[in-house]
Structure 1
Amino acid sequence: MVNLIASAHPFGDKVSSIGTLPVVARATDSEFIWLKLDNGAQLVAKGSATSSDFGVVVPFDDDWAIHLAAADRLYRHLRGLSVEHPLTRQRRQRLKHALRTVDGLHQGATYRRIAIAFFGEQRVSEEPWKTHALKSQIARLAIYGRRMIDSGYRRLLQGRHR
């Protein structure tokens, strides 16, 4: 069952938190209490509700499934349940390395210097650099990082990770 409620309300007073999540704005009207979290999420409840009476505002748009997944993670967090990150640890690490690679290149670092920063001097010096597998890996990270900067981050925000 879905209860349709009023549209979003303009926010006013500052409040501090709901559970462990920071609240940046609060608004009330004759029927509802609206809270806006620092991550942009909006919570709504009828009347003088306790924190367990709040619901999430989920827009009916093309990103419906993404919003629902985020709402589920918020619910699990507020209930103290385990929350799975939408990206695996390996994918987060690859993304970090890719963005750090692009930053390093913009600051004048070489592929070799970047590989040393990620993998250590010993591992980099185990093979000739010209044909080293890490050289190819850094090159791929640079391409991936540039692609993410150009528009790939939008795919991450939309829940598409490739």
Structure 2
Amino acid sequence: MLDALPSVLPAEGNLSDLLAVMDAKAAADGVYVRCDIGGGRSLHLLRLAGVAERAPLAVVIPLDTDGLDRIEAATRLLCALMRRSVPPDRRLTERQRQRARRMLQAVDGRMSGASYRDIAQALYGPDRVGEESWKTSALRDAVMGFVRDARAMIGGGYRRLLRRRRRK
């Protein structure tokens, strides 16, 4: 979230004029923008309502359980604005990214009317699927799990992917 720079802070050296806005969408609570941070990556930001477009800005970080995630995003934004190397988003491992991709492919196929077997053939290849009895196949269980987990993700569980791991 971006707000007007408080008057107690100096406006000199503010980097807000360097924001490379790719998309902007006005809403009641402000303007949602997507900013280019280089390397084909972007950050989604909200410029709060009432903040002038060219005004010096400050990042608002609420003191909540998502604070560390927001600090990391603010660091990435500042690195991009200062033309420094932007650290990668490390919240998802490569394996988690691959699983998320397969989950979305599986649920997309299922929502388009494909059978679990068809989905397995698309994901793993027809030769590998044909090697085992389908009713007892581990691939069948995997595909069914992908679809189940993807439906949960679509229902709002995707937010877990975007957060840091938390101690309970």
Taking structure 1 as the reference length, the TM-score comes to 0.64
Do the aligned partners of 2:33 and 2:46 also contact (CA within 8 Å) in 1? yes
Q: Which runs of 5+ in 2 are unaligned?
A: 8-16, 25-31, 35-43, 48-55
Higher relative contact order (CA 8 A, sep 6+): 2
1:108-151 per-residue CA deviation (whole Å, 9 max, x = no partner) reads: 10111111111111111111111111000001111110111112
Q: Which runs of 5+ in 1 are unaligned?
A: 8-16, 26-35, 43-53
Give the aligned length: 130
- Tell me: CA distance 1:104–1:23, structure 2 relative to 1, closer, same or farther (3 Å): closer
Equivalent of 2:71 in 68, 72, 84: 68
1:6 aligns with 2:12: no
Do the aligned partners of 2:103 and 2:147 also contact (CA within 8 Å) in 1? yes
The aligned residue for residue 50 of structure 1 is: none
Superposition RMSD in Å:
3.3
How far did 1:157 drift? 3.4
Partner SS for 1:87:
coil
Taking structure 2 as the reference length, the TM-score comes to 0.62
- Tell me: CA distance 1:37–1:149, structure 2 relative to 1, closer, same or farther (3 Å): closer
- Tell me: CA distance 1:98–1:127, structure 2 relative to 1, closer, same or farther (3 Å): same
Partner SS for 1:40:
strand
The aligned residue for residue 114 of structure 1 is: 119
